[in-house]
Amino acid sequence: MKNNIYCITFLSLVLILTTRCSSDFLDVPVQGAATTATDPALAEKLVTGVYNSLISGDAFGKGDTHGIAFIASTNIMSDDADKGSSPNDQRNTIGELDDFLHGPTNVFAASIWNGHYNAIAQCNQALQALEIATVDEVTKNRWIGEVRFLRGYYYFNMVRYYGGVPAVLRVPESAADANSDDTFQTRASVDEIYSIIIGDMQFAVDNTPLKNQTQTGRINRGTAQAMLAKVYMYRNDWQKVLDLTTEVVNSGLYDLLSDYELIWRFEGNNSIESIFEIQTGTFNNTDYGVRGYCVWQGPRVGGLGGWRDLGFGFCTPSRNLVESYEQGDVRRNATVIEIDDSGNHTGTILYDGFRIPSKDSVENFFYNYKAYHSELMTIEPFLGNRDNKQKNIHVLRYADVILMQAEASFELNDVSLAISNVNKVRKRASLGNLDNSLSGTALQEAIWKERRYEFAMEHDRFFDIVRQGRAEMIMKADGKNFIAGKHELLPVPALQIELSGGRLTQNPGY
């Protein structure tokens, strides 16, 4: 009896020990997250995901492409705008940039770098997935074109922010792969980056449809041509600028919106003037836009208080800008919210009827009207999320094409086209025509001046004056501590240099 029990016990045990775990017991798939293998529509979703990178604005975290770091390093650094807000708020981040005291550890200089390389990586991921995606050639090339345009756009920003940067054009297999490949860790030359940008954008020109043949907000041939024209403008390749802008003009799909002040309002979204516009809307039952774009720039309570303010009051139009508009320029009041400092306490009534009290209850004298988004839901869509207001960002619009064509014409000695183009822009601004006899540097300066007021607070000015070679002169005239040969570019973030093991070099002067 007993022996039988032992036998059975041990037979059972042996069986338990050897058969309990079938071979796939340890093959447990990842839960709740699609992998590159399990998502059938991966390529298309990754393309949309690349567009999503346009609205990133986590300036204190993962990175920023169009949030406050972008606002600070374009508008606030220029002579068009000041830090604003209360004197100590963000003094060490934005204040440094505004006063040209920033160094390699500036938080925003780092988050621009991170935001752009995250976005570029998303482009590369999408391109890799598109290579093997099973979609028809036309669609595939269109998507590749859209993604390459965006990659080119990000590199265009990067080369203007930092100069030559690492030319990352593929997905690293792992962190170790990126570490061992010098392309990831060392800077390409400015020329190399521009040739990448041009290659990407030319592909987009060749493979994306016209504006009216694709979804609103998608990259189309006009977007690519206009942006490529701008790239060539930064390379002083004026014939290419002229050719591309002329193609956009001749497409007949674009015109100036008749009312300048509508451009940056909801009513002006995706208008006839729109060429490259960052889209906003709703998602997950809430407002969906560039993080913080409006709230950082919203008018801020100060002094006596007594009202619920709209934001933190950064990026205030400079007195230099506000007071230099030509008499009668409608663009002034479309760009600047001017706080009532008359002593009569009438306050400032905005277009939607919102009243901002007078200066004794407000922190600053001026605010950016182009970043104002109405909180009255009948006027502009607003679901209550101030941090992600539905404010489209007009990266490139038809007026830029007109003025680029003007500048190229000037450079190529077609003075009459240059003048007539500037006049188109001036006419909308309710300004008179330029003197027909203008030529030479006077005409060039007239074109440049027009660019300033047309695109004031639209993130163009600082890059533009660096391009024009006037940055030192203009910034010094504005009383800024600008050092030529240094402050044209941002510092390469210290951490990135450290993480590259010193292979990444710093910009001059930092």
Task: Return the residues of window 60-119 that contact other proteins according to CB under 8 A.
Answer: 60, 62-63, 86-92, 104-107, 110, 113-114, 117-118
For other proteins, give the closer residue by CB, 11 or 138: 11
For other proteins (CB under 8 A), the number of binding residues is 116
Question: C-alpha distances in angstroms, 414 versus 175, 422, 436?
Answer: 52, 13, 12
For other proteins, give the closer residue by CB, 282 or 320: 282
For the CB of residue 135, give the shortest distance to other proteins in the complex, in Å.
16
For the CB of residue 192, give the shortest distance to other proteins in the complex, in Å.
15
For other proteins, give the closer residue by CB, 200 or 329: 200
| Single residue of 383, 442, 477, 484 touching other proteins by CB under 8 A | 383
Residues 3-22 that bind other proteins (CB under 8 A): 4-6, 8-9, 11-13, 15-17, 19-21
- The contacts of residue 265 (CB under 8 Å, 6+ apart) are 351, 380
Structure tokens at 280: 């906003």
For other proteins, give the closer residue by CB, 154 or 232: 154
Residues 389-428 that bind other proteins (CB under 8 A): 390, 392
For other proteins, give the closer residue by CB, 17 or 416: 17
- What are the E-state strand segments in 266-377? 274-278, 281-283, 286-288, 314-317, 336-338, 348-349, 355-356, 366-368
The number of CA neighbours under 13 Å toward the Cβ of 247 is 17
CB atoms within 10 A of CB 472: 18
Burial of 474 (0-12, 13-18, 19+ CB in 10 A): buried
Assess 169 for contact with other proteins (CB under 8 A). Answer: no
Question: C-alpha distances in angstroms, 344 versus 174, 303, 340, 359, 362?
Answer: 65, 16, 8, 10, 14
For the CB of residue 53, give the shortest distance to other proteins in the complex, in Å.
8
For the CB of residue 81, give the shortest distance to other proteins in the complex, in Å.
20
CA angle 40, 43, 44 (to 5 degrees): 95
| Single residue of 178, 253, 272, 417 touching other proteins by CB under 8 A | 178
For the CB of residue 78, give the shortest distance to other proteins in the complex, in Å.
23
CA pair distance 491, 505, nearest whole angstrom: 10
What does the per-residue mask of binding to other proteins show for 198-237, with x meaning CB under 8 A?
-----------------xxxx-------------------
For the CB of residue 399, give the shortest distance to other proteins in the complex, in Å.
21
Residues 255-314 that bind other proteins (CB under 8 A): 269-270, 279-286, 288, 300-302, 305-309, 312
CA dihedral 419, 421, 426, 429 (to 10 degrees): 180
For the CB of residue 279, give the shortest distance to other proteins in the complex, in Å.
5
For other proteins, give the closer residue by CB, 237 or 363: 363
> Among 28-36, 189-197, 326-334, 394-402, which window interacts with other proteins (CB under 8 A)?
28-36
For the CB of residue 282, give the shortest distance to other proteins in the complex, in Å.
6
For other proteins, give the closer residue by CB, 56 or 423: 56
| Single residue of 68, 94, 109, 168 touching other proteins by CB under 8 A | 168
For other proteins, give the closer residue by CB, 11 or 349: 11
- The contacts of residue 112 (CB under 8 Å, 6+ apart) are 63, 64, 65, 69, 70, 73, 161, 490
Q: In 168-237, which ranges are continuous DSSP H helix?
A: 175-180, 182-185, 190-207, 221-234
CA pair distance 281, 109, nearest whole angstrom: 28
Question: C-alpha distances in angstroms, 275 versus 114, 186, 250?
Answer: 26, 34, 14
| Single residue of 97, 120, 241, 336 touching other proteins by CB under 8 A | 120
For the CB of residue 250, give the shortest distance to other proteins in the complex, in Å.
25
CB atoms within 10 A of CB 283: 11
For other proteins, give the closer residue by CB, 120 or 489: 120
CA pair distance 43, 55, nearest whole angstrom: 20
| Single residue of 70, 143, 153, 184 touching other proteins by CB under 8 A | 184
Kindly tell me the sign of the dihedral angle through the C-alpha atoms of 480, 484, 488, 491. Answer: negative
For other proteins, give the closer residue by CB, 10 or 449: 10
For the CB of residue 469, give the shortest distance to other proteins in the complex, in Å.
27
Strand pairing category for 281-283 and 286-288: antiparallel
| Single residue of 73, 74, 122, 318 touching other proteins by CB under 8 A | 122
Question: If you count them, how many residues does the chain have?
Answer: 510
For other proteins, give the closer residue by CB, 274 or 409: 274
Q: Please tell me whether residue 220 adopts helix, strand or coil conformation.
A: coil
For other proteins, give the closer residue by CB, 74 or 125: 125
Residues 320-379 that bind other proteins (CB under 8 A): none
For the CB of residue 43, give the shortest distance to other proteins in the complex, in Å.
10
For the CB of residue 154, give the shortest distance to other proteins in the complex, in Å.
12
CB 443 within 8 A of CB 415: yes
> Among 195-203, 342-350, 474-482, 490-498, which window interacts with other proteins (CB under 8 A)?
490-498
CA pair distance 412, 299, nearest whole angstrom: 44
For other proteins, give the closer residue by CB, 13 or 477: 13
CA pair distance 476, 41, nearest whole angstrom: 53
